[in-house]
Structure 1
Amino acid sequence: MKSIKLFFYFVFSIPMCFWAQNKATINIENNSALDRKEAVVAISWKNILERYPEIDTSNFVVINTKTKKQVIFQLEHRMSSAIQNLLIQVDIKAKSKLTFSIQKGKPEIFTVKTYARYVPERKDDFAWENDKIAFRTYGKAIEGSNEDAYGFDVWVKRTNKMIINERYKLADYHTDHGDGLDYYQVGHTLGAGNMAPYVKDSIRYSANYHRWKMLDNGPLRSTFQLIYDSWNAGGIKIGVIKTISLDAGSQLSRIENNYTFDETQTLPIVAGISKRANPGKILLNEQQGIMAYWEPASDKNGTTATGVILTTPVSNMWADKIQLLAKTTVQNNEPVIYYSGAAWDKAGKFTDAKKWFDYLENFYHEINNPLVVSVK
């Protein structure tokens, strides 16, 4: 009897951390009919801590239980001191399941696949990129000059390396040095998928962004905010904060715009894509909210493709002389989420309009059929 008492005393006197689980298991299911390649998946850090409370954030690895190999990961903060999500990148077949183990170990050094930064040395540009494509937008310092533009710019690339810093350092980004260049023309349009209010049948462009905040910066997802000064948009005072994320492997940025205004209950807005004088190929799919453009080929620089996918109902899509436009509405202080991006035929993945349009349609289905994630 005494030995039994000693046993129970021993068991219950052991600290609870001794019994804590020293790993967690992640299950990811693809219930759609589409294969997912290079998908960045977010796993709630709170759910991981519930299963693995003693995890050391500087000494853990994510292992594919089938291949036994490490998987690239990122701790996403969303500008918070606390971790919000664990991001991993996966390839997963249609109607299939993957399992990963989070356990103690030394993580490998993985290649950075996304990057973003404010560029004060070039008139307040803000630039962002991944292993497929690059973009930039314009800041206060360039306003009033002949270089100013309203929309998003595209920097085409045919390398998986990060090129923003090198191109700015060379200050010769209009020349292709073997990895791509900036030859996209934005002008007085929304460029490659920017958004603006549409009041009294006119686009009400804001000035350029005035402030910025970096939320996360790679290796799998870079997220930042652009804050704009309020402006008079056809008699309505409007302000906006744009939160932009770009995932590794994606041609499209995720953009969340939060408009504030007082004079009306709803605000008409449009997303736009620059249109060229020569004929190109256009897709206007109002039902699915997909607007796409395969530009006419440049003599020496190939073809840039651009696209937008709206997640809110589209009331109209049309093409005018200088741009394609997709119209929707937004509530005051409620975010509107959409996707915009580009591709370059010289990168080799999209060599005709059909391949680009198919990519956007598949992307639409991926948005509406997200991967299912569980932690055990």
Structure 2
Amino acid sequence: MKNYITVMLGCLLVFLSFPILANVQNTSAKISVHNKLDFARKEIVAVSGKLLSDLIKGNQTKDLRIKKEGNSEFIVLQWIDYNQDGIQDELLFEAEVPAKAKVSYEIVFDETTALPESTITTYSRFVPERTDDYAWENDKVAFRTYGPDAQKRTEEKRPEGTLSSGIDLWLKRTDKSIINKWYAENVKKGGYYHIDHGEGYDPYHVGASRGTGGTGIWENNNLAVSKNFVSYKTIAVGPLRTVFELSYAPYSPYEVKETKRISLDLGSNFSKFEITMDANKALPNITTGITLHDNKGEVKINKKEGWFRHAETIDGNLLGEGIVLNPKVVKEAFANVSTEKDQSNLLVIGKPKNNQLTYYAGFAWQKSGQIDNEADWDTLLQKQAKMLANPLKITIKRNK
């Protein structure tokens, strides 16, 4: 009798534990990612939190895992709460899809296996140790722009000042994060990041220009631009996407208040700029641009496909800068050459809808190994334009 009870208890324990173990292994849903283009794509894709809400019911969000179909290893994930209301708005993961193909991923819930961590990441932060920059990066590129203290220093003719709403480029040739290291070393010895110590450097001059992706309002052959940002909000830092917002004081005859939401995905050469301008009346345009520096570089305008670029040589190496946006929102684009310092820019005049404009701005540096010549840079811009026009199609099918 004792042995019978022991066997029955053992069977009961197995029976009770089986559904829990099965839940770990069974697929809850399948995500299909479809690439319609004729080249392979490796991109960060986003799944709406609302689409996943029913699936998550009865489970913990933190236990959600994704793996490629037929693969036992989970992949890196990132949740983003864009409005900071405590509800996750999007789930991000990196999809790799061959040309004109479809790849499937499986969603499971597993509380026992830790999420994998990425050795490379996106990152952004406010930088008070260098007055008040805001800097952001991923494994390919890095950027920065300038805050109110840097503006005040310039206006008061004090050191370390910068008066600009242009976007600066940091040329990196490592997939590791460099922002914290370069700023820390610069505190020890001023000018550190202007010298290449093996990871890249900052030889790029912005001044009052647009840098790569700065904004303004073009009217009467004049570009009205804001001063430095007055406030910032960090929304996400990585590993797959960094997101933040910058706000600017009113400027131009329209007294426009501008907000930039900027995001950068892992593996991309382009920051996404979502511009909102709050004005009392409709704006004639929202303009973005690229500095032409000393007007010795090459400009190429492809209004039909929606990409615009500048290629120049800095310290003997090619630097390609570019802007990509929906061609339907482009009014015109031209190289505005000026004799005034830092006022020569390639300008892209956008037709704002509800005083909003979205575009991508970025670069590639020859010494990073990402491009060898201008044709390589044009190819990257063409692909970015095609990807913007043909986003990866995501479908979710829940298992019955």
- Regarding TM over 0.5, the answer is yes
Provide the C-alpha distance between the structure 1 equivalents of 2:27 and 2:386, rounded to a whole number of angstroms.
Answer: 37
Specify which of 339, 347, 350 is matched with residue 371 of structure 2.
350
Aligned AA for 2:330?
Answer: V
Matched, 1:201 2:206: no
What is the TM-score when the length of structure 1 is the normalising length? 0.89
**1:182 match:** 202
Matched, 1:248 2:266: yes
**1:325 match:** 347
1:224 Cα deviation from its structure 2 partner: 0.5
Aligned AA for 1:111?
Answer: T
**Structure 1 residue ranges, 4+ long, deviating more than 4 angstroms after superposition:** 17-22
* RMSD across aligned positions (CA): 2.0
Q: 1:300-354 deviations in whole A, cap 9, x for unaligned?
A: xx2221100122522221113322111122244x421111011111010111111
**1:130 match:** 138
**1:106 match:** 114
In the alignment, is the contact (CA less than 8 A) between 1:197 and 1:270 conserved in 2? yes
Provide the C-alpha distance between the structure 2 equivalents of 1:84 and 1:112, rounded to a whole number of angstroms.
Answer: 23
Provide the C-alpha distance between the structure 2 equivalents of 1:318 and 1:340, rounded to a whole number of angstroms.
Answer: 16
1:97 Cα deviation from its structure 2 partner: 1.0
**2:302 match:** 285
More helix by share: 2
Distance verdict in 2 for CA 1:137–1:58, change over 3 Å: same
Distance verdict in 2 for CA 1:278–1:328, change over 3 Å: closer
Q: What percent of counterpart residues are identical? A: 31
Matched residue count: 353
Provide the C-alpha distance between the structure 2 equivalents of 1:98 and 1:52, rounded to a whole number of angstroms.
Answer: 23
In the alignment, is the contact (CA less than 8 A) between 2:121 and 2:138 conserved in 1? yes
Aligned ranges 1:256-267 → 2 under 5 Å: 256-262=274-280, 264-267=281-284
Provide the C-alpha distance between the structure 1 equivalents of 2:181 and 2:314, rounded to a whole number of angstroms.
Answer: 26
More strand by share: 1
Provide the C-alpha distance between the structure 2 equivalents of 1:359 and 1:55, rounded to a whole number of angstroms.
Answer: 41
**1:139 match:** 147
Aligned AA for 1:261?
Answer: A
1:112 Cα deviation from its structure 2 partner: 4.2
1:266 Cα deviation from its structure 2 partner: 3.4
**1:67 match:** 71
Q: 1:71-102 deviations in whole A, cap 9, x for unaligned?
A: 11111111331111110002101221111112
Q: Secondary structure at the match of 1:237?
A: coil
**1:153 match:** 168
**1:33 match:** 38
**1:162 match:** 177
**1:366 match:** 387
Provide the C-alpha distance between the structure 1 equivalents of 2:236 and 2:116, rounded to a whole number of angstroms.
Answer: 20
Provide the C-alpha distance between the structure 1 equivalents of 2:330 and 2:64, rounded to a whole number of angstroms.
Answer: 45
Structure 2 residue runs of 5 or longer lacking an equivalent are 1-18, 155-160, 187-191, 338-343
Aligned ranges 1:205-244 → 2 under 5 Å: 205-231=225-251, 233=252, 235-244=253-262
